[in-house]
């Protein structure tokens, strides 16, 4: 089944981790992929070559999704390569964890800018194109933390909860034009970042998950493929939990 073959995709923050896994999954399925990175040019260029090897058009863009003008420019640049933008995956995100009594205003603002305002910036930037096309799938990466909160992550939780409210509102605004807006809320996903955690900490995480394992970038990517494909044509305004049952 050609889930997304020939579709044109933008993914923010895709040079590593979950974003990289999503980009690879879409290229394997025959989608053309434009993706952004903030500073890791080497890995970004390697990924661009890896994606292109699947016979699709792939392009890495150094761009800051938290900057409104940069997001507008990115979409303009992508439209010089692609004749449409079928799917936007808002994946860019950072953490600056600390307890409320220790967190700085700068770290709070920075996380909100990168995680939440970037979603507004990029969605606003692709809106006109999707309205003209009268179709589009918007996929926003939240987190289980955005649903249930987490001590020491008030900034991150606020940004990820904000994404859910934003997405549901956009689903209501744009549904009549066949533009869908959905959220994916990953749980404990094992990437190079979690590889740095002590093994006993990881084991404790796994033990608390009903499926008794951490997720992989592929687990998140498969959910993205579903929400990007026509299989989910009647699904909008939803939050899909990819967490192994953590919030069950």
Q: Which residues are catalytic?
A: 156
The Cα diameter of the chain in Å comes to: 52
Nearest to 246 by CA among 146, 153, 168, 163: 146
Q: Which residues does 29 contact at the CB level (< 8 Å), separation at least 6?
A: 2, 3, 4, 5, 225
Burial (CB < 10 A; 0-12, 13-18, 19+), residue 8, is buried
How close are the terminal C-alpha atoms of the chain, in Å? 31
- Contact between 139 and 227 under an 8 Å Cβ cutoff? The reply is yes
């Amino acid at each position: 089944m050609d889930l997304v073959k020939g579709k044109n995709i933008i993914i923010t923050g895709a040079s590593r981790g979950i974003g990289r896994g999503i980009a690879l999954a879409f290229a394997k399925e025959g989608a053309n992929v434009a993706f952004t990175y903030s500073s890791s040019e080497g890995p970004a260029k390697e990924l661009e070559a890896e994606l292109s090897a699947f016979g699709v058009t792939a392009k890495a863009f150094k761009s800051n999704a938290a900057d409104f003008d940069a997001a507008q420019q990115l979409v303009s640049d992508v439209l010089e390569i692609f004749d449409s933008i079928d799917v936007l995956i808002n994946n860019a995100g950072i953490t600056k964890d600390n307890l409320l009594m220790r967190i700085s205003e700068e770290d709070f603002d920075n996380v909100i800018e990168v995680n939440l305002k970037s979603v507004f910036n990029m969605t606003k930037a692709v809106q006109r194109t999707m309205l003209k096309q009268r179709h589009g799938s918007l996929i926003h990466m939240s987190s289980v933390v955005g649903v249930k909160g987490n001590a020491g992550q008030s900034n991150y939780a606020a940004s990820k909860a904000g994404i859910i409210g934003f997405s549901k509102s956009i689903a209501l605004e744009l549904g009549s034009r066949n533009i869908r807006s959905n959220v994916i809320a990953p749980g404990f996903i094992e990437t190079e970042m979690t590889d740095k955690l002590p093994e006993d900490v990881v084991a404790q995480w796994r033990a608390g998950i009903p499926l008794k394992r951490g997720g992989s970038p592929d687990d998140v990517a498969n959910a993205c493929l579903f929400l990007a494909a026509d299989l989910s044509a009647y699904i909008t305004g939803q939050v899909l939990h990819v967490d192994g049952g953590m919030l069950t």
